[in-house]
Structure formats: C-alpha cells, structure tokens
C-alpha cells in the first residue's frame, strides 16, 4: 500500500462513515507529521511535541470512534489485530507501520501512557 492508496482509504472512510470521519482526520494529521519525522526541523523539540500531541489526539479520537460503533477501544483494537480481517499485503503494511510507531514515546498524561509504554496498538 502506498501513500496515495492510504489517502484514498481515508477519503473513502470519510464518505462511507461520517462517524469515523474524525478518526480519518486525526490519522491523516498524524500521518503528515509522521512522514517527515526524520527530516531536519528548525525546532526539533517543538516538532517532537507536535508529533506526540497528534499521536495522543489520534488515540483519543480512536476511543470515541470505537464508542460510536458500540465497541470498546479494546474490541476495536482486537479487530485490527486479527490478520484474518485483512489481505496479506494489508497485514504486512499494518505490521510495518506498527513497528515504526512503537518507537514513538507516548506523551505523559495521556490515558495510554501507563498502559502502553511498550506497545502501540494498531
């Protein structure tokens, strides 16, 4: 899956499921920052803070999106953790992104900080 395909999936999500639109927006915002994380930034500390804030917003939005579908965040996470819900190519891409995301520090004070210091759920 390339970036354009991912952006199309986000657009499709916005059109097909308005209640998940905010999740697609939060992911898109995080993705924009994440993709340039290795570039030189004039204020690296400020950039890392923005990236962490975007990450927190993404997961807070994930919690709300799960609730809008009548699921707990854990139930929705379990769906995304099951390889049988995806094609082999999609699953490999999810695993690649997951490995990359595990290197991000979860911001202190976020609901997930204590629960997920080592694991980022996708």
- Tell me if 122 is assigned to some domain: no
- Tell me if 118 is assigned to some domain: no
pLDDT digits 0-9 by tens, 80-113: 889 998 889 888 877 877 776 666 544 444 444 4
Question: What region does 119 belong to: left with phi over 0, alpha with psi -120 to 50, or beta?
Answer: beta
- Tell me if 61 is assigned to some domain: yes
Domain count across the chain: 1
Assess whether pLDDT exceeds 60 at residue 119. Answer: no
Give the C-alpha distances (Å, rounded to integers) separating 41 from 37, 48, 79, 113: 9, 10, 36, 26
Please state, in angstroms and rounded to a whole number, the distance separating the CA atoms of residues 5 and 11.
10
Domain interval for residue 33 = 3-101
pLDDT band at 117 (very low <50, low <70, confident <90, very high): very low
pLDDT digits 0-9 by tens, 9-50: 777 777 877 767 888 889 889 988 988 888 888 898 999 999
Summarize the confidence of residues 39-64 as an average pLDDT: 91
- Tell me if 91 is assigned to some domain: yes
Question: What region does 26 belong to: left with phi over 0, alpha with psi -120 to 50, or beta?
Answer: alpha
| Positive or negative torsion for Cα 115, 119, 120, 122 | negative
């Amino acid at each position: 899956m390339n970036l354009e395909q991912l952006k199309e999936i986000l657009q499709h999500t916005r059109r097909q499921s308005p209640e998940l639109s905010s999740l697609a927006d939060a992911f898109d915002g995080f993705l924009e920052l994440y993709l340039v994380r290795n570039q030189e930034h004039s204020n690296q500390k400020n950039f890392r803070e923005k990236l962490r804030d975007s990450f927190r917003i993404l997961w807070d939005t994930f919690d709300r999106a799960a609730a809008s579908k009548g699921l707990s965040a854990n139930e929705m996470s379990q769906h995304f953790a099951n390889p049988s819900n995806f094609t082999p190519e999609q699953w490999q891409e999810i695993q690649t992104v997951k490995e990359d995301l595990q290197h991000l520090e979860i911001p202190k004070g976020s609901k997930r900080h204590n629960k997920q210091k080592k694991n980022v759920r996708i």
